[in-house]
Amino acid sequence: MSIESTLLPVDELVAAVDGFLAASPAVRAWDVETAFDWAAADAGRLSEGQRSAVQFVTFIEDHLPGYFDVYQRCFPVDDSVDLPAFIHNRELYHFTVRWALEEDTHARALNHYQVAAGIADRATLRHELAVEGRKPFDLPYEHPVQFFAYALVQEKATQMYYHQLRDVVDEPVLAAVLTRLARDEARHFSFMADVVTRYLRVQGDAAVEPIRDVIAGFRMPLSDTLRGYWRWALRIADVADYDHTAAYEHLLKVIDRAVDARTEKVDELADLIGQFRTLA
């Protein structure tokens, strides 16, 4: 089974993309240079753990080229796919380029904060990000809904962490940055939830099993490549709650709203999520 054979009908995708863009007009966009009072940024008001958390999420956000490349490879806009698939992928591209722009803005904002607040100097930070940024990133999925289910969990987990970190820091500039980032992640989550919902309504149980596979093997971005990832993740969890399995419950809510009644496959997915939450 190819990705092209299981794509969402293009009218369904267009409705999701149009909805996202309508809720994200350019006039509401923010830019790194003018949105914050960088001169007031002060890492001296952060604990060592909070500084470490900022460094950690900067690495995650800065890997944007790797994330974007996955969607370009799996939803290509060239002659490697037939015309119907191209039409679908071209419509999706309207979302992915906006998504990439916003995520790249997140990376730049965190980078700028580190430099302005005195956590790192620009040249050293640039080098450190490049060391990790050139490492490969891949999502070895076979069904298109999996890419959106993965991003749904990742976006919600990131949004939740930014909210929780913002609530414990006593540094107004960082709090303002995290507020902006969390709002964007919430909109990205909403788009992914909309697309997953549409797959479930169109394909039913045929979309549930691929989603289950995403959860069964889920890893947050860079968990397999970023040096010291797991030690770092445990360290920042002491600063603010960092448990991506909490986002699974939001996925389950999306599924429950999408289906008329739970099927055996949905129950199996719910049981799997429950097992992960019990272990967390």
Model confidence pLDDT, tens digit, residues 123-158: 999 999 999 999 999 999 999 999 999 999 999 999
- For 214, residues 6+ apart whose C-beta sits below 8 A from its C-beta are 141, 146, 149, 150, 153
Opening angle at CA 254, ends 248 and 255, nearest 5: 90
Q: Please check whether residue 100 lies inside any domain of the structure.
A: yes
Per-residue confidence (pLDDT) for residue 248, from 0 to 100: 84
* Domain at 151, CATH number: 1.10.620.20
Q: Which of 197, 8, 199 is nearest to 88 (CA)?
A: 8
Q: Please check whether residue 16 lies inside any domain of the structure.
A: no
Q: Please check whether residue 21 lies inside any domain of the structure.
A: no
Q: Please check whether residue 33 lies inside any domain of the structure.
A: no
8 A C-beta contact, residue 61 and residue 138: no
The pLDDT tens digits of the residues spanning 74-123 come to: 999 999 999 999 999 999 999 999 999 999 999 999 999 999 999 999 99
Per-residue confidence (pLDDT) for residue 8, from 0 to 100: 97
Q: Please check whether residue 172 lies inside any domain of the structure.
A: yes
Average pLDDT over the chain reads 91
Domain range for 130 is 40-279
Q: Please check whether residue 114 lies inside any domain of the structure.
A: yes
Prediction pTM value: 0.93
More confident position, 242 or 174: 174
Q: Please check whether residue 22 lies inside any domain of the structure.
A: no
Q: Please check whether residue 242 lies inside any domain of the structure.
A: yes
Q: Could you give the number of structural domains in the chain?
A: 1
